[in-house]
Amino acid sequence: MQAFFTSTIAMATPILLAALGELLVEQSGVLNIGIEGAMLNGAFFAFAATYFSGSRTLGLVAAIGAAATMNALLAALVVNLAVNQVVAGTALDILAAGLTGVLYRWSFGITGKTFTVNPIQPIGLGPLARVPVLGPVLFNQNAIVYGAFMLVPLTGFLLRRTRYGLSIRAAGERPEAAEALGLNVYRLRWEALLLAGGLTGLAGAYLTLAYTNTFVEGISAGRGFVALSVVIVGRWNAYGIAAASLLFGAAMALQFVLQAANSGLPYQLFLALPYALTVIVLATFGGQAKAPSALGQTYVRA
Query: Which domains does the chain carry?
Result: 2-113+135-288 (1.10.3470)
Find, among 98, 63, 1, 77, the residue nearest to 33 by Cα: 77
Summarised one tens digit per residue, pLDDT across range 121-136 is 999 988 888 888 788 8
Rg, the chain, Cα only: 19
Report how far residue 42's alpha carbon sits from residue 208's, in angstroms, rounded to the nearest whole number.
9
In this prediction, residue 286 has a pLDDT band, given cuts at 50, 70 and 90, of low
Burial (Cβ within 10 Å: 0-12, 13-18, ≥19) of residue 284: exposed
139 within 8 A of 124, measured Cβ to Cβ = yes
Q: How far apart (Å, rounded) are the C-alpha atoms in residues 295 and 248? A: 24
pTM: 0.94
> Residue 119, CB half-sphere, CA atoms under 13 Å: how many?
15
| 168-181 pLDDT, tens digit each | 999 999 999 999 99
CB 34 within 8 A of CB 74: yes
